[in-house]
A and B are shown apart, each in its own frame.
Chain A
Amino acid sequence: MAETAKKADALPAQEVVVQTGNEIAATAAKQINYHIMGYYPITPSTEIAETLDAMKAEGEHDVRMIPGDGEHGAAGICYGATTAGGRVFNATSANGLLFAFEQLPVQSGTRFPMVFNIVTRSVSGPLDIRGDHSDIMLAMNTGWIILMASDVQAVYDMNLIAPRIGEDMAVRLPVMVAFDGFFTSHQKRRVEIFSDPQVVRDFLGPFVPTVTSVDPRKPVTIGPYMNDPDLINNKKQQADAMVRADAVIKKVFAEYAKLSGREVPVVELYRMEDAEAALFILNSAAETAMEAVDSLRNQGKKVGLIRPNVIRPFPLKEIREALKKVKGLVVADRQDNYGAYGGAMTIEVKAALQGVKGNNTQVAGRIYGIGGKEFFVEDAEAMLSEALEIAHTGEVKVPYDYFGADPGEKGYVPPKAFDPITAEQATGLIRIETTPEGKIDVKGVNLRALTGRPKRVSSGHGACPGCGIFVNLNTFLKGIEGFVTVLFHTGCGMVVTTGYPYTSHKVTYIHNLFQNGAATLSGVVEMFEERKKRGEIPKEEKITFLMVTGDGGHDIGLGPSVGAAMRNSRMIIIEYDNQGYQNTGFQLSFTVPIGHATSTSNYGPHQKGKSTHHKDTAQIFSACNLPYLFTAAESNPRDMIRKAAKAQKYADEGMVFGKLISMCPLAWRTEERISVPIIQAAVDSCFFPLYEVEHGITTINYDPEEKGRKVPVTEWIKQMGKTKHMLKPDCKDVLDSFQAEVDRRWLRLKEMHKNPLL
């Protein structure tokens, strides 16, 4: 839908669209037509890849979308792709950036330009998905150029500008474009874009590689080991490039302004001409602060606002110039440098002013808006008033402080919700007996009696209606006697059970990072055992340690889980496989079967859902010498409970792994109330066979063939909206491939069942 903007005839045509920051970033990437996007989903940047994938399914661009195993992997994909000589794009936020972090200095140090959109979000510890600048500010010293996009229009403009700057032969550095998570990424705004993508591509010109890893006629060594006489020179080259970037940025900004009719200053100066006091602030909050400047100006106060659009290289000259007549300055940082007595911008501005002879600007730093805390016009007015006070008194009473933190309600004690579950309450329902042949027999698996098992997770959690995770968790835990301590990977299970200050965990619960749950829990287990050894904890104390992860957590976290398996850590890992990164918006995970639709494997005229077969985590772990591993499903609850009891027993010996298939009505596009028939079909089609492996011996617990209940996979997929398209004629090859693979794995499993060596 377009409204033709009335511009001078010399300028190329533009049209008006209404898009969010994420959507417009995808639009820009589409128009640029990057060769590759390596990516991994994380809120709030997920929609960039999702939008591009949906566009790809419709044939709107040629960007090759490559899902990483995690952000570190995605960044590696991008690095490799840039060495092979093409234009590359990535997008992430917060912990995604942190997970990719060690790739960043390599990208800049070995001089391979690319564009990385950072949708700013709070860095974990504790986890907060909303927007602040704690992530982007950590990237300040990675050697990347950093452009700040303060609103949705700027996201588009900066994304078009970024490749030109980075690819300039005087620069050859990678570029970040940072815009605020949720405030900019998720707000629909009016944006002007070029109607013809060719205009964009002409502006950028073709990508000119200086070196490529895919020209055998010009063999090169990329990324050698470099020792001390040489590294300093490499770094000086890099530093000089960053200094040269300053002029290149100005040049490209000016060219873009000519092309678009929109001025892009290196530093936005709002009503600064005669300002005696000012606020220095970035991105979306700066927009709000402009209203405050206007409001105070209407009262005759001489205030202004400084908002850099570039922070690396730091625009020293422009900022020194802007502050010449300013006597009082408040620098507002949407992150803190803990122990530096100021956030990143405060430190850099103060450093900039140190170089000014006769500097009259007194600076106070304020930490605001952390974790997405809303920033209001009144807040900016308060900061400007502080700046005015500094200007008038010549004194900075409080050089460093938090703005907007709440002390809490005096005397408030959160009410008690439960008495801790005692050992007696949680014991006595399940008994393990070992037969003379050495087989483990589980007694007490009676669903009615087991309603007496105290629930380790309380009612009140915020899962979607019909969520399979909590059915699986509850059913599994019915088989576990005694004390339990749980650890969750980031994911739906974690998010809906622990929104501060609430928790639905009645037992001790730990959440660390998205991917290192098994490592973390190993640490807990080892510490527990060592403390018992030292007499700090009674030796009789028994806790079952249980890690809960989604299939998503086992894409990004497979390494640490295999590591825990290699250490044979005495704990149980259960993976609820709901086939996708549901918490972040239903993106594909590697367990998603071929052909299935997700938000990053759309079905359309040019794409038929996921292009690769599903990962088999159970078989990966079966190669790890575990004492016990199993699969289970809610269609067979007694089988699951029995396996839980066995898992508890085997966890005394070493690591146990269990894989559970888990309903997600929202992503699978099914009715909430219908669950067992769908799961039963997944089991009966042998897509999700029920089996266990005890000390390497595989036993199929339920053989649908024997029972005359085996069905083709169509019986399962026809029940779900995410797979209905696979029944269409254009997907026949995909469906056949899926059925063949399911059959192949089932046949292999049957051989393993028959042969004790397999």
Chain B
Amino acid sequence: MSLDSVLFYVLAALVLGSAIMTITRRNVVHAAVWLISALVGVAGLFLSRGAEFLAGVQVIVYIGGIMVLFLFVIMLVPVHDESTQRRFSNQKWPATVAAVALFLWVAFIAVNGVGMLDHPGMAEPLGPGSLSENSEAVGLVLFSQYLLPFELASILLLVAIIGAIVMSKTRNRETES
């Protein structure tokens, strides 16, 4: 068993275990911390597939940005005695059955496609955009071929920032009219 395989199985166990803990914890802060652990595992998987730049982005944006935002909002929203509250909604069993059925369907497609996924002929480097130095390759493709989507993503982020500010702003009724 090579080091690559050991790394994959350890990280996969970390990701799946942390994800299960995320959706079952009663305390929202605990769920957020378990989600951070799952995201670290995903960053490790990116590293093991040679996506160093994306692993860095995952740690900085997801863990440093999005999860801190989550923890801030958890602090802003007073959670009154979560231990007396029901954790799951009334639809939990039908919902679980539906989700497992969806999983079986996707897994059926994936298993049928396994032979195609691991076709050796597909692993040849294919001209422009093929992997060399990871960050350099990502940067070259991002700023040439995907320049328009890149700019659109920046506009999306601007709109999202303004939208989040407008929605979470406190309205002062006296001064508004």
Whether chains A and B associate is: no
Chain A residues in contact with chain B, CB under 8 A? Answer: none
